[in-house]
Each structure stands twice: as C-alpha cells, then as structure tokens.
C-alpha cells in the first residue's frame, strides 16, 4: 500500500520534473511582453485530441496570475492563524498548495460562466472576484463578510459563484442544474462543477453524470485530486484512481493541477467542448494540499512531513510560475518581491478588518432567506421568539 501511495505522489512530482514543461521556447531579451512555454500533455479518455502542449503567457497575465496565487496562499495562511487565535470557529478547510487550480480555472472561462464547488472554497471565492476583506470577515462571522457573516467558511457566494457546499458531493447535482439553466437560456455559458477525489465515489456524482449526458448539459465536472480524501489516500479508498475516466460515457482528461498554464489551457479546451453543445466533460486536476483536510486535521498522521516538503520544493505552483517568468525575462525577482510586500499588506489590512468589524445583530438572523419576497416572520429557538425576514 505504501508503494502505491508513493507512486501517486511521484506522479505529481514527475509532472514538474520533466524539463520541457518549464523550458522557454520563445523569449526575447529584457522584459519580454510574452513567451511561449511547453506544458504537460494531458491524459485523454474518449477524446481524439486534447488541449495544446504549448501556450503563450503574456507578462501582464503572468504577473496577474502570480498576484492571485500569492494572495490566496497568504490569505489561507492568515486564516490558519486566525483559527488558532479562535477568531474563526467551526469548520475551516484550506487550499494552500492548490492555487494553480483556482487561478487556472478562472483564467480559462469567462466572467459570465458559472462555478460551484465544495467546502474548500476560499481560493475560488478570491479568483471569482471577492475581496480578501469579504472572505476573511465571513470566516470570522462579521457584517462585512460576503454572506453578511452568516455563512462562514463553507457557505460563501459571489456573482455566478454558488458556494461553498457543506455536504460531500452535493454540489454535483446542483452544478448540473446550473448547467441546465445555461442550456435553457441559450447564452453559450458553462458551469464548472468542482468536487474532490473523496467525493468522487459519491452516488450523486454519478447521477449528475447521467443526467448531464442525457441532456447534453454544458457542465465541466472538475475533480480536484489532492490524493487524500480526509485522512485516507485515494489508493485505499477508490478501486480506480483514474477519476477522469469515471464518467464512462462522458469524455475526460487528466491535467497537471500544479501548473497554472496547464490548468488554464485544459479549462479553455473543456469549456469550448461544452459550448459546442457536445455535452459534459470530466476534468481531473492532479494537485496537492499542504494543510490537513481541515483545521482539525494535523495532516501528518497519514503522510510524512518529508512527502509534503518534497512537493513544496519541486512542484509548488507559485514557485513554478515565478521561475518560468524570471528565466524567460518576463519579470524580475525584484518585481515579485514588491508584489509579495503588497499582498502581505493587503492580507494584514483585511485581517484587521475581519477582527474589528462588528458581528451582525441578532435581529438580522432571519434576513435574506429569499432574494425577493415580502417580509415575513421566522420562528426562533422557541415559539415565543420571532425574527423578521427581509429580502
């Protein structure tokens, strides 16, 4: 069993170890405007061709992706700190290590497209456009949070972003429903429906596959495979860890989820596939989380610290992008240091806001149950306690 797990980890590392994946093919000297890179070829299932194996990265996009990933990384580390200081209570699932998934997915779709995910949602919230202030304030249960302090870590929302869902795998059918709405409205929009490798064995995921295939829904089912469902390795929990083949009658592709450019190109490919009315597609992102499953999980009882450090040193998504850009003269080390300083200040300011902003008053407990409804009363903890609900 240990040999199988080691093999799974090595597959993640091997995607970066190959030199062509980080080699520059085209780059001019002194602050190039763009450069062309080779990226890892995706594994395909029931597809004759897949995403390209080279891609162009502009200086502007590269710096934007770096800032977004660094923001997510620092935000998650700050959330870890606030949780240990007991400003954040309850469930809290961090995604540091998986930043390339969040940013690459967003870079591959349009702002008008739709995203729904599991309870590991902070990074996608940021990528979808929520401010760090709104996210951290939601984590601490304050009025300035994106859900007015009433949703917490697992229930955050933004425009065309539908959470944050606390039930394992429940977002699968919901995402298919969002895709049905996309098809009904006929606007050529798609829905990215994300779930983890642990949720990949849920029956409702397969029910969603079936309905999406029957109705040819524009749904990209995205399995974020970070190798461990809670504290159990995929090798021990799944009869087959080829999650991109799980759709059976739905095409799929397996992607290097530690490379933001690879994720971007694969997402563009999958989104275009769905927009062309071919039906759904399954995309597996091979990635890795540095923290445990949640804040109650130290993350080292079922894997070694050395394994985590190996991934950090060889496959870290932020490091990979930075090295590419520096080596291709798209940016300098000093520029990245300036971005790091700016990001740290933004995170510190947001944390200060999240710990000083007032909590929502008790009388607002019943507000926003419906988006557009006449005021009505909601029963409290007893029949004598009533709260007014306002839309």
pLDDT tens, position by position, 298-308:
899 999 999 99
As given in the structure block, the two tokens for residue 332 are 């300098």
pLDDT band at 8 (very low <50, low <70, confident <90, very high): low
Q: Are 195 and 232 in contact (CB under 8 A)?
A: no
Please say if the pLDDT value at position 87 is more than 80.
Answer: yes
Short-list 254, 237, 236, CA closest to 245: 254
pLDDT of residue 1: 53
Residue 267 has pLDDT above 70, yes or no: yes
- Average pLDDT rounded to a whole number, residues 98-117: 98
Which runs of E-coded beta strand occur in the chain? 24-26, 34-38, 43-45, 54-58, 114-116, 191-196, 219-225, 228-229, 232-233, 252-256, 281-286, 376-379, 386-389
User: What pLDDT is recorded for position 4?
Assistant: 55
Q: Quick one: pLDDT at residue 320?
A: 98
Q: What three-state secondary structure class fits 170? A: coil
- Residue-wise pLDDT for 9-60, tens only, equals 566 555 544 444 444 444 444 688 999 999 999 999 999 999 999 999 999 9
- Show the domains of the chain with their CATH numbers: 34-360 (3.40.50.970), 363-390 (no CATH)
Q: Output the pTM of the full model.
A: 0.90
Q: pLDDT (tens digit, 9 = 90+) per residue, 179-192?
A: 999 999 999 999 99
Rounded Cα distance between 293 and 84, Å, is 16
pLDDT, position 27? 40
Q: What is the pLDDT of residues 178-236, one digit of tens each?
A: 999 999 999 999 999 999 999 999 999 999 999 999 999 999 999 999 999 988 999 99
* Separation between Cα atoms, residue 172 and residue 157, nearest integer Å: 17
């Amino acid at each position: 069993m240990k040999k199988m797990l080691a093999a799974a980890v090595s597959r993640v590392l091997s995607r970066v170890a190959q030199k062509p994946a980080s080699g520059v093919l085209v780059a001019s000297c002194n602050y190039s405007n763009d450069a062309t890179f080779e990226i890892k070829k995706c594994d395909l299932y029931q597809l004759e061709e897949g995403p390209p194996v080279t891609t162009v990265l502009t200086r502007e996009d590269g710096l934007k992706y770096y800032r977004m990933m660094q923001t997510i990384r620092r935000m998650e580390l700050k959330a870890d700190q606030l949780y240990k200081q007991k400003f954040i209570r309850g469930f809290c699932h961090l995604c540091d290590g998986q930043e390339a998934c969040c940013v690459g997915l967003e870079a591959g779709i349009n702002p008008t497209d739709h995203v729904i995910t599991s309870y590991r949602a902070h990074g996608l919230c940021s990528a979808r456009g929520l401010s760090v202030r709104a996210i951290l304030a939601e984590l601490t249960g304050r009025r300035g949070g994106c859900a007015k302090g009433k949703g917490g870590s697992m229930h955050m929302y933004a425009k065309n972003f539908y959470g944050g869902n606390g039930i394992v795998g429940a977002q699968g059918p919901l995402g298919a429903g969002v895709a049905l709405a996309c098809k009904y409205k006929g606007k050529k929009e798609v829905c990215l429906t994300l779930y983890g490798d642990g949720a990949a064995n849920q029956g409702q995921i397969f029910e969603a596959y079936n309905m999406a295939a029957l109705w040819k829904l524009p749904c990209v089912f995205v399995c974020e495979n970070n190798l461990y469902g809670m504290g159990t390795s995929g090798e021990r929990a799944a009869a087959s860890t080829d999650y991109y083949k799980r759709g059976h009658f739905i095409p799929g592709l397996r992607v290097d989820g530690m490379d933001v450019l690879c994720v971007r190109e694969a997402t563009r490919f999958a989104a275009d596939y769905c927009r062309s009315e071919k039906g759904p597609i399954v995309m597996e992102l091979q990635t890795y989380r540095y923290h445990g499953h949640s804040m109650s999980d130290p993350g080292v009882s079922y894997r070694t610290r050395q394994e985590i450090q190996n991934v950090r040193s060889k496959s870290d998504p932020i490091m990979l992008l930075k090295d590419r850009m520096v080596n291709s003269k798209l940016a300098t080390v000093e520029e990245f240091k300036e971005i790091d300083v700016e990001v740290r200040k933004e995170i510190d300011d947001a944390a200060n806001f999240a710990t000083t902003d007032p909590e929502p008053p008790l009388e607002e407990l019943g507000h926003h149950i419906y988006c557009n409804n006449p005021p009505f009363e909601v029963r409290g903890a007893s029949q004598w306690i009533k709260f007014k609900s306002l839309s």
